[in-house]
């Protein structure tokens, strides 16, 4: 399949920062984050909107001007030391509530409304956690050992176990002094000055080249980042290479060297280089499908299989040839597995081939002609099947309708409701 033109790749990367006016300069005491400032706190709310705090102001999302903090959280009349969104699935009454720390007080909000009884002393809600914090961030079980909160003060990190209320203190002298910390798509970012450093939430280890300028990744500023002043991609220009969803319900779209992942509609659709998550897949993909907590990536004659944990791990012995692993040969246009099924559906030209994934060795069990060709990607979810062709897609309510159909349905255009693009 063709790789996306370079200009379109840059536009796709701007999907995380939908077009919004950029503040030109600080005026009347209003801070300008594009001038390179140090944030006091960063946290998402229960809807997935991320808020960046500086002094008595905040920014909602990755674009747009600063606003008074009281416009969104009316009781926050001063400097915010730290903030995080609670992850506590064992206690739904506290899950997704946003906590703000000011000096020795904690404020808890849900739906931008201060909870009854707040503010409280920090020790009342989080015993053993110091006052006058520098930063805080949630760390769910699986990324940390238990559902936890990491509180930062100086070079010390106080790991707070939500269930037991126990606190363990670590010293990460190798990590820059964090004035704010953000968990974003299972990655952890320490912000310091106008830069950030990504770190491991258990060890504090930093891997990769850091620090990096936050203006190139977490906000839309002229002459910074993925395309600078470029415009978001038009839906009519979209061309996918692959699409899938994993066992947790996360949806992935692949286009050229970039993939976009949507955890929930709340958290939006975010673009990253494929090699950031699947480092062995260096030249894009032809097809991707998910099965039994694994993600299969097909490129040419090879198939890579990754265990879908918090961080994808290539299974030992891979890649293997498509013939060896899946029992067929030839270029693959699209591949998908429907929820709770064990059949792989592979589209090659005008033919769809079914493979029983429970069989050893795997072989093609059925072949069915399709009423069209040149399919770029396929996806099967609870609502049916979508086959993508350029900037359009075919919608089928069920696999049976797709298999029995002899006339192609009317194609539908990709819209902003389908993925992050401009209609």
Domain boundaries, the chain: 24-216, 235-413
Q: What is the DSSP letter of 350?
A: T
**CATH tag, 235-413:** 2.110.10.10
3-state DSSP: the chain helix, strand, coil percent, rounded to 5? 10, 40, 50
* pLDDT for residue 22: 37
CA distance 356 to 291: 12
Query: pLDDT tens for residues 291-317?
Result: 999 999 999 999 999 998 767 899 999
CA distance 82 to 355: 52
Per mean pLDDT, which range of 83-87, 90-94, 211-215, 335-339 is the poorest? 90-94
Claim: this prediction has a pTM higher than 0.75: no
- pLDDT > 70: what percent of the chain? 89
What b/e string do you get for 205-220 counting C-beta neighbours within 10 Å, with b at 16 or more? ebeeeebeebbebbbb
Query: pLDDT tens for residues 105-131?
Result: 999 999 999 999 999 999 999 999 999
| Nearest alpha-carbon partner for 278 in 252, 300, 249, 301 | 252
Q: pLDDT category, 266, cuts 50, 70, 90? A: low
CA distance 386 to 381: 8
* pLDDT for residue 186: 81
- Residues present in the chain in total: 423
- The fold for domain 24-216 equals Hemopexin (2.110.10)
Q: pLDDT category, 4, cuts 50, 70, 90? A: very low
Identify the helix (H) or strand (E) that includes residue 285.
Answer: none
Tokens of 121: 């002393």
* pLDDT for residue 267: 57
* pLDDT for residue 416: 78
Please indicate whether residue 406 or residue 396 has the higher confidence score (pLDDT). 396
pLDDT greater than 50 at residue 9: no
| Nearest alpha-carbon partner for 185 in 148, 219, 140 | 140
Q: Tell me if 24-216 shares its fold with 235-413.
A: yes
First to last CA, the chain: 24
Q: How many CB atoms lie within 10 A of CB 52?
A: 26
CA distance 342 to 338: 8
Q: pLDDT category, 387, cuts 50, 70, 90? A: very high
Q: How many CB atoms lie within 10 A of CB 199?
A: 23
DSSP-based three-state secondary structure for 263: coil
- pLDDT > 90: what percent of the chain? 65
């Amino acid at each position: 399949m063709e790789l996306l033109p370079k200009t379109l790749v840059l536009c796709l990367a701007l999907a995380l920062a939908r077009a919004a006016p950029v503040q030109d300069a600080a005026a009347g005491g209003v801070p300008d984050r594009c001038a390179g400032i140090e944030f006091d706190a960063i946290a998402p709310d229960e809807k997935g909107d991320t808020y960046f705090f500086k002094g008595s102001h905040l920014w909602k999302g990755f674009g747009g001007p600063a606003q008074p903090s009281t416009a969104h959280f009316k009781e926050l009349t001063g400097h915010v030391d730290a903030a995080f969104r609670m992850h506590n699935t064992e206690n739904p009454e506290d899950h997704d509530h946003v906590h703000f720390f000011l000096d020795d007080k904690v404020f808890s909000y849900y739906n931008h409304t201060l909870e009854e009884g707040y503010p409280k002393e920090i020790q009342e809600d989080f015993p053993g956690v110091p006052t006058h914090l520098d930063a805080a961030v949630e760390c769910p079980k699986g990324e940390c050992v238990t559902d936890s909160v990491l509180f930062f003060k100086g070079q010390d990190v106080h790991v707070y176990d939500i269930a037991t209320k126990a606190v363990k203190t670590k010293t990460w002298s190798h990590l820059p002094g964090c004035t704010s910390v953000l968990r974003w798509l299972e990655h952890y970012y320490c912000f310091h000055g106008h830069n950030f450093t990504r770190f491991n939430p258990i060890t504090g280890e930093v891997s990769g080249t850091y620090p990096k300028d936050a203006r190139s990744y977490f906000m839309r500023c002229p002459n910074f980042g993925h395309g600078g002043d470029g415009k978001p991609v038009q839906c009519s220009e979209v061309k996918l290479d692959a699409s899938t969803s994993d066992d947790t319900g996360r949806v992935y779209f692949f286009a050229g060297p970039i993939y976009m992942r949507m955890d929930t509609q709340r958290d939006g659709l975010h673009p990253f280089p494929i090699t950031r998550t699947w480092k062995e897949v260096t030249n894009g993909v032809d097809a991707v499908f998910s099965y039994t907590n694994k993600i299969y990536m097909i490129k040419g004659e090879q198939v890579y299989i990754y265990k879908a944990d918090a961080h994808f791990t290539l299974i030992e012995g891979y890649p293997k040839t498509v013939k060896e692993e899946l029992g067929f040969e030839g270029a693959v246009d699209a591949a998908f597995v429907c929820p709770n099924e064990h059949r792989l559906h592979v589209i090659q030209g005008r033919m769809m081939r079914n493979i029983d994934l429970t069989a050893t060795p795997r072989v093609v069990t059925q072949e069915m002609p399709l009423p069209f060709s040149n399919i770029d990607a396929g996806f099967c979810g609870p609502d049916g099947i979508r086959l993508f062709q350029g900037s359009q897609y075919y919608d089928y309510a069920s696999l049976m309708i797709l298999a029995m159909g002899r006339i192609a349905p009317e194609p539908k255009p990709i819209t902003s409701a389908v993925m992050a693009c401009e209609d």
